[in-house]
Amino acid sequence: MSSPFVLKPCDAKFTQAIKNLEATFNGISNGEDETSSSVNVACQGVADGTTKARNAAKPLSGLGLAVKDLFDVEGLPTAAGNPDWLATHSVPKSTNSCVANMLEAGATFKGKTITDELAYSLHGQNKHYETLVNPVAPAHIPGGSSSGSAVAVSAHLADIGLGTDTGGSIRVPSSYQGLWGLRTTHGVVACDNMVALAPSFDTVGWMTRDLDTLAKVADVCLESATQTDIPNEPRLGIATHLFEQTAHKSLCKTWLKALEDNNNCIALPEARLNLNTLQTAATFRTLQGNEIWQQHGEWIENTQPDIANDIMVRLDWCKTITTQDVEQAKAQQTVVINHLNTLFEEVDVLVVPTTPGVAPRCDADDTTLANDRNALLAFTAVAGLAGLPQLHLPLFTLHKAPCGLSLVGKKGNDLALLALAKTLTNR
């Protein structure tokens, strides 16, 4: 299995920068290479005081942190998945605040991880690096663009995979690799000191192998003032017609049937969440594409970077988006948001498929991958267009590959979704 790390903790060139991180955040030098297991990380234990005392002061103590190579870390390069980006940008002098918060809370920095180029993909394939292997389903792609962070966690090379989610880049690799993954409410976690893709949609998120760890990270990274509650007996809106469109619909139906026994479940007819009528994929694609060109168009034209063909085709398309296209898409985004606001007067939480099924196979052709991306965007754009939190639950396995479903809440329901998921999965 290839390593998902771009920058390994043992790389001699950056040893001093990593030591500075450890000193700044009172970290413990792990003295291990990137193949350390999470068990070994936990066993690093404590140099000062007892494990219990350290854990009380540092809630993420003993947990390895893998950081997507969009986040700046002082003294370490940020490549954004592309060598030409690396060559044309200086080494950061500041650290992203979310990374800093996790390190301050005791997480051990394990390395920067491979991302799809400029984070503009959902498949986890980057031609500039060794092919990432999906550890839990090697015949299938890992999912992107937070691909390296996801692989680091599912391969037990780290316990927390920090990433971003603009169009699904936490939710998709989480689904494809059987991880818990939280896309946070837009704006509740600062996107400072990081490479932007489309700022109106960029969110910070993280992936873990278990829900308790996901919740620990959320407690560290989310300000309570940004959070809102879900009722004790929430009305769960089940998007039944969307589940009918998935490859794992039988598994979903069985789980949802059991859910109905102890919860207030409301089956939503197609008219209540018709993604075709709402034009979620097309609307998101236009607005995201316009912002991507605003962010990176000048650099692309001046640098002429070496970028994978499929991504370059999309970037070329971004350049053609007109003001009229954007105005129409913004109008449709308002329609989507208003529709969801009305829906959330009837239900408290939406239960939806995260992805249409398991990850495509590694030998899938370009057409299959393009169709998969389009199908994904229809699902993921719901939360994206409205800036809502979405939690992926890794509940199922189909054809020896993982899949699951999601809970989507109102803005600020991030912590409440985690608590609800714990209740629903413990019954």
| Residues annotated as part of the active site | 68, 145, 169
| Separation between Cα atoms, residue 7 and residue 9, nearest integer Å | 7
Pairwise CA distance, residues 168 & 164, whole Å: 9
The token pair that represents 423 in the structure block:
């209740």
CB contact at 8 A, 177 and 136: yes
Listed in sequence order, the residues at least 6 apart from 264 whose beta carbon sits closer than 8 Å to its beta carbon are: 233, 234, 235, 236
Q: How far is the C-alpha of 63 from the C-alpha of 33, rounded, in Å?
A: 15
The DSSP bridge partners found for residue 206 are: 162, 182
Structure tokens at 256: 């949802």
Report the C-alpha gap between 126 and 130 in whole angstroms: 8
Question: 141: which 2 tokens?
Answer: 């792609």
Edge to edge, what strands does the sheet with 203-208 contain? 5-7, 108-113, 64-68, 160-165, 203-208, 180-183, 390-398, 401-408, 349-353, 235-238, 264-267
Under DSSP, the state recorded for 269 is: P
DSSP state letters, 365-405: -HHHHHHHHHHHHHHHHHHHHHT--EEEEEEEEETTEEEEE
Q: How far apart are CA 136 and CA 121, in angstroms?
A: 21
C-alpha to C-alpha distances, 258 to 129, 137, 251, 253, 254, nearest whole angstrom: 44, 27, 11, 9, 6
Query: Cα separation of 94 and 300, whole Å?
Result: 25
Alpha-carbon gap, residue 147 to 121, rounded angstroms: 10
Residue with tokens 């309570």: 224
Run of H or E residues at 173: helix 171-177
Phi, psi of 392 (to 5 degrees): -90, 130
**CB distance 182 to 206 below 8 Å:** yes
